Structure 1
Amino acid sequence: MKQPPLPSQPSRRRFLGAGSRWLMTGALLPLAQPALANQPGARSLSFDHTHTSERLALVYALGDAFVPQALTSLNHFLRDHYSGEAGVMDPQLFNLLHQIRQELRVQQPFQVISGYRSPATNQTLRATRGGGVAKHSLHMDGKAIDVRLPGVPLASLRDAALSLGAGGVGFYPREQFVHVDTGPVRRW
């Protein structure tokens, strides 16, 4: 008589493999964050996304080293909110945002209007927004972000970004955001 198959028991190897995949994708990042925040040289950021209603707060760097799982989480969080496509954000952009918060002496989350933008989305916006979108936007390279800080006048946010002399700064008072990027130093 044939024995019925035994219920499948997860092996230790399969369990550890799944755990490492979760860690690689940043799923366990929140568990590690409190320990990282207490490390010397920890740099953190927090965000509220105006289009997806998602929130993210994390330590993205320790000293001179970026935290890989944090960068993965940031790439996903700052994905193209139109298409869902994630790009690879320039980690120096996070240093720039961190410096802006230090300059302003604030801790509140940045409100994100736009992070990564796919080439297709960029082209669609160029065609529908009456020329306000650059043909070779640094958003497509993961080197730009449009933000504001609640409670901070937009002009103060712009001035703090300009004072750093580290990339492009665009001021959009009608749309209520400041564009910052890690491209050449310029302003508009």
Structure 2
Amino acid sequence: MTFTPPQLHRRQFLRSSSSLLVAGAMFSIGTNSARASIGGGGFRQISLDHLHTNEKITLAYANGDAYIPAAMQRLNRFLRDHYSGVVGHMDPTLFDLINKVRASLKTDVAIEVISGYRDPHTNERLRKTRGGGVAKRSLHMVGQAMDLRLKGVPLDELRDAAKELALGGVGYYPKDGFVHMDTGRVRSW
């Protein structure tokens, strides 16, 4: 009796390849040591209320040091540019940063989102119409920033908690009712 290896059909090959790709992505995202310091062990969850789209989402986005690709896709869609509908790729460590700030304030209220990802065309339009409040190289355009507030938490306390952690940029916009947080270099304005 001779052994004949099974033929791998195109669909089976693509399914197997995509599984390996997802597993590889989870490993490479999860082991990014430069960013892992703001992550943590166990499942990490986030709850967001988007004030412009009236959408709400609560989900586990990471398990240990590995970010969950399907959850990240849902968060990318949720935090899309609410002006254009363009979906970007959010930096997963931004969610860790925001959760650390929220934990330091000892609150578990949902995060109220004013802005997440911003398409470069939207950013340029806002720069021209809103004066000096929109940066030319905004980290919103690369998914590293979110403008937010926490219901019941004074903005100055939210700002101070974010600055104290010193894990990225913090902008304070009391007239507009939000705090900007990003995973860029440590700075504040």
| Range into which the TM-score falls when normalised by the shorter chain | 0.7 to 0.9
Aligned to 1:128: 129
Structure 1 position 71, deviation (Å): 0.4
Structure 1 residues 119-142: Cα deviation after superposition (integer angstroms, max 9, x where no partner): 000000000001210001000010
Code of the residue aligned with 1:118 in structure 2: it is D
Quote the Cα distance in structure 2 between the aligned partners of 1:106 and 1:66: 23
Aligned to 2:7: none
Aligned to 2:52: 51
Say what the alpha-carbon RMSD is for the aligned residues: 1.6
Aligned to 1:94: 95
Structure 1 position 66, deviation (Å): 0.6
Unaligned runs of 5+ in 1: 1-12, 25-39
Aligned to 1:75: 76
Quote the Cα distance in structure 2 between the aligned partners of 1:184 and 1:130: 24
Aligned to 1:37: none
Structure 1 position 163, deviation (Å): 1.1
Structure 1 position 58, deviation (Å): 0.6
**SS of equivalent to 1:131:** helix
Structure 1 residues 11-49: Cα deviation after superposition (integer angstroms, max 9, x where no partner): xx9xxx9xx9xxx9xxxxxxxxxxxxxxx7111110000
Code of the residue aligned with 1:61 in structure 2: it is A
How many pairs were matched up? 153
1:147 aligns with 2:178: no
Quote the Cα distance in structure 2 between the aligned partners of 1:173 and 1:69: 35
Aligned to 2:119: 118
Quote the Cα distance in structure 2 between the aligned partners of 1:159 and 1:45: 21
Unaligned runs of 5+ in 2: 1-10, 23-40
Identity between Structure 1 and Structure 2 (%): 59
Could you tell me the TM-score, scaled by structure 2's length?
A: 0.78
Aligned to 1:63: 64
Runs of 4+ deviating beyond 2 Å: none
**SS of equivalent to 1:159:** helix
